[in-house]
Structure 1
């Protein structure tokens, strides 16, 4: 078998023999151990087993050893392991066989981690969200971040050896290149992973330990690359959203009132009267219905309720009416709901009261769904990752995407009314502008939402899901613009200078061999 096994290792003299005993049973062409920053006998152990050793006295940093090992390998199949997680050789065979069968990359199938009845770890959310943004929902949390994985050497060359130091970035490039990626086996590296200081090391102004922060930053870098390649929405649909909606509105009323309600409607004749009735019972003084592409009956019912009705003959697209309604409103607080979900007045009042008491953005608290729905829904994953990227994991899956929510007028003026066209974008602006954003009350709009045509999956993804995922990529694009290519997440020093030097030296050696 033309196999090269690549193992970065730092102070792994205890576990490395266990790993090498199993790897030797695969009868590889070579085993490459990249020893870096070790102060124990890791190098001596590797040499005892006849491994090819690449040694550096200093620590190279996360994943640099992978890149060096891949460049140095001569096998047609590359198998990547870590120096601290022994894996039985029989569990490694499916990864090698998958490459022999013609696939480019074989990943560890960790999808089972999302099916556990526990809230997902931020790293799992990041991996899942990245795959979703690439329209690869079936990949779940499978990622080049986790060992073991195998790769064709030709695939490694195509990606470029330097890219292996940034696994999420390499994964984006592999998917964009149309490589065949499979997950042929399950190897538990979650419960067997060795605890390290970086797993608990606190960093300033972050709710995450250093190791988690680094991986989140790696995923933000990958998303930045996706945006550069495919545009601000990552190539995902905007669902015919009319962002150039007519700039003609009702004048804002001069008198100030306490609360306005904004209700977009399409064909909502069955629900609109009940929706308005509950809003009135909540004591809302101004109710604005934005009818866009609505049927006549819905419009007439709304008008009969003695509320403000703004009519557009054509559908403006998702969330455009929110922006229009907010612009036309005069309340100190704006309550946003939909015309197709009847919400009882007692469930609307908490949002209004929270805003009146100083919460700038009062969100629907859907966090309980994390304890009821397994695995994590794709839209929930996007919302959760956005809050993780904003360093607000306390908000979990709660963003301005879901109604009901309330926003204070001062906050609307800060974030701009147009931002409401893309709710996650408004969410980012609210948090980055220092607004007080809190989850205040649970209303189940996930399981009571009416099933529409765009909710049905076509070619693996529903149009509504793709639109919402695109909204979150657009929001992340803004966050990247406001911070840096890693979203403001730190990274321990990685010896990219030594990697570049190593890659150049090996290129020179290969050229010399070719000339000879």
Structure 2
């Protein structure tokens, strides 16, 4: 099998010779340098080292050179490098061997980067989120975004050369097509990466390179949603959404004016429900609504004995449906949401109620510190952070209505619709979209105290159903964002030369 090595380059005169010399250690059929917008001696050096040079006077934009090189390559195996990072040829060989052994794509294994005791970079957060939404947990944070990587020429043709310019999109197409993808070796291109102008220039508070890569991932998610539906093919769990369509017509609306209500869904919570209600009442909540979500009789009996309003459904409504029903029934100016299985002290609940009383429309649990405490980042935390980045609220970090406790003012429900509470990330995106204030107001540890349930455990080596459902919720929220903006969520594409890309798949 013939090997083509593709190296896009712009003003890489200081490093390109070393990159090429290491590449030659693999005895390739050809080395293609796609020089675009270079004003130094990059092209001269490449020609002097007997490389094939494809030259463009203008800059093509990030990764367009990869796509051009892939189209022009004559080899059966394509290995992609950058012109500014020399990599010893022995470290490159595993990627070539993986394709020779039948893999379609071989990625750089950067999983180790998430085990460092530092916060995951926003780009890594998005890589992880996309792979998990694609149900490729095994790929972890490994992506076509990073070099070195290799693929067969046939894989490149099947993906579409134009699509190679948007690496997360290319990876998504490959996964959905059932291609064989592995990460055979780890090459450190993180600490060796050269700081460029795109790392310093800010767009919406993010480095322009980060802004572009986030947009690339949103474009990939857009493709996934078009192919698999608004949840990306991820489970919705046993939610009975239709119950709310019928139930809302007959529910008691806001009648008497009170300051605080609380909504508490319950299943089998006989050990904790009395403690939960007691602390909520101590926090100053006047109206406590317990929704029996297919709950056992003892839980219901104990809730009633504590003076709560109990809405008893003999069957399971599914996750978060009870929240919406409870909100419809509530009368408070501010509504507090907690769960029936975690007893949270009154003093930990009051900040959420007080924030709502002061006019904060959505007061969420501040779990940001957990990004410093747990490594690697959990895929749910990654999805939360990715969504807030997409919503251009990076200040909210991983703090969303997915986690309790949180408090919401009445006017938010009336504007975004009670039914949106069924999908908490979507409700939060809608609240932001409508200009409501959303703030993380207080930290309550509901992570280490969370009870392990059946749906938290893996089955047949698949994602836990609860994890897949929450990822699906975030996919649904992203679907809304994309519908309201564009396939890139309003993020930059860095000025990629679309004319050049269009020619790739039309010639």
Q: How would you bin the TM-score normalised by the shorter chain?
A: over 0.9
Name 1:497's counterpart in structure 2: 499
What TM-score, normalized by structure 1, do the two folds share? 0.96
Shift of 1:500: 2.9
Do the aligned partners of 1:411 and 1:430 also contact (CA within 8 Å) in 2? yes
Name 2:276's counterpart in structure 1: 275
Name 1:314's counterpart in structure 2: 315
Residue 435 to residue 357, structure 1, CA distance change in 2 (3 Å): same
Taking the aligned partners of 2:321 and 2:387, their CA distance within structure 1 comes to 21
SS of 2:206's equivalent?
A: coil
Do the aligned partners of 2:160 and 2:505 also contact (CA within 8 Å) in 1? no
Do the aligned partners of 1:259 and 1:334 also contact (CA within 8 Å) in 2? yes
Taking the aligned partners of 1:292 and 1:168, their CA distance within structure 2 comes to 40
Shift of 1:491: 2.0
Taking the aligned partners of 1:92 and 1:412, their CA distance within structure 2 comes to 55
Taking the aligned partners of 1:399 and 1:501, their CA distance within structure 2 comes to 43
Name 2:207's counterpart in structure 1: 209
Taking the aligned partners of 1:495 and 1:252, their CA distance within structure 2 comes to 55
How large is the Cα RMSD of the aligned pairs? 1.1
Shift of 1:460: 2.6
Name 1:40's counterpart in structure 2: 40
Name 1:432's counterpart in structure 2: 433
Name 2:232's counterpart in structure 1: 234
Do the aligned partners of 1:362 and 1:437 also contact (CA within 8 Å) in 2? yes
Deviations 1:315-363 (A, max 9, x none): 1000000000001000000000000111011110010011111111100
Deviations 1:114-140 (A, max 9, x none): 111111111111111000110112211
Count residues in correspondence.
503
Deviations 1:26-55 (A, max 9, x none): 111000000110111111111001001100
Name 1:445's counterpart in structure 2: 446
Do the aligned partners of 1:162 and 1:500 also contact (CA within 8 Å) in 2? yes
Taking the aligned partners of 2:97 and 2:12, their CA distance within structure 1 comes to 28
SS of 2:399's equivalent?
A: coil
Do the aligned partners of 1:348 and 1:404 also contact (CA within 8 Å) in 2? yes
Do the aligned partners of 1:68 and 1:503 also contact (CA within 8 Å) in 2? no
> Where do 4+ consecutive residues of structure 1 move more than 6 Å?
none
Taking the aligned partners of 1:174 and 1:478, their CA distance within structure 2 comes to 25
Deviations 1:84-133 (A, max 9, x none): 11111111011111111111110001111111111111111111100011
Shift of 1:253: 5.1
Name 2:342's counterpart in structure 1: 341
Deviates more, 1:353-362 or 1:330-339: 353-362
Taking the aligned partners of 1:371 and 1:462, their CA distance within structure 2 comes to 24
Do the aligned partners of 2:162 and 2:504 also contact (CA within 8 Å) in 1? no
Shift of 1:450: 1.1
Name 1:514's counterpart in structure 2: none
Shift of 1:2: 1.5
Q: Name which of 460, 463, 466 aligns with 2:462.
A: 460
Taking the aligned partners of 2:353 and 2:330, their CA distance within structure 1 comes to 15
Taking the aligned partners of 1:425 and 1:344, their CA distance within structure 2 comes to 28
Taking the aligned partners of 2:71 and 2:254, their CA distance within structure 1 comes to 68
Name 2:73's counterpart in structure 1: 73
Shift of 1:486: 0.5
SS of 1:276's equivalent?
A: helix
Do the aligned partners of 1:384 and 1:397 also contact (CA within 8 Å) in 2? yes
The 5 A counterparts of 1:346-357 are 346-357=347-358
Name 1:56's counterpart in structure 2: 56
The 5 A counterparts of 1:41-440 are 41-203=41-203, 206-245=204-243, 246-247=246-247, 249-252=250-253, 254-440=255-441
Name 2:6's counterpart in structure 1: 6
Residue 89 to residue 418, structure 1, CA distance change in 2 (3 Å): same
Taking the aligned partners of 1:494 and 1:387, their CA distance within structure 2 comes to 25
Taking the aligned partners of 1:4 and 1:356, their CA distance within structure 2 comes to 64
Residue 502 to residue 457, structure 1, CA distance change in 2 (3 Å): closer
Name 1:513's counterpart in structure 2: none
Deviations 1:150-175 (A, max 9, x none): 10111111111111111111100100
Name 1:510's counterpart in structure 2: none
Taking the aligned partners of 1:298 and 1:332, their CA distance within structure 2 comes to 27
Shift of 1:250: 4.6
SS of 2:18's equivalent?
A: helix
What TM-score, normalized by structure 2, do the two folds share? 0.98
Do the aligned partners of 2:79 and 2:149 also contact (CA within 8 Å) in 1? yes
Shift of 1:446: 1.1
SS of 1:38's equivalent?
A: coil
Q: Name which of 472, 475, 494 aligns with 1:470.
A: 472
Shift of 1:503: 5.2
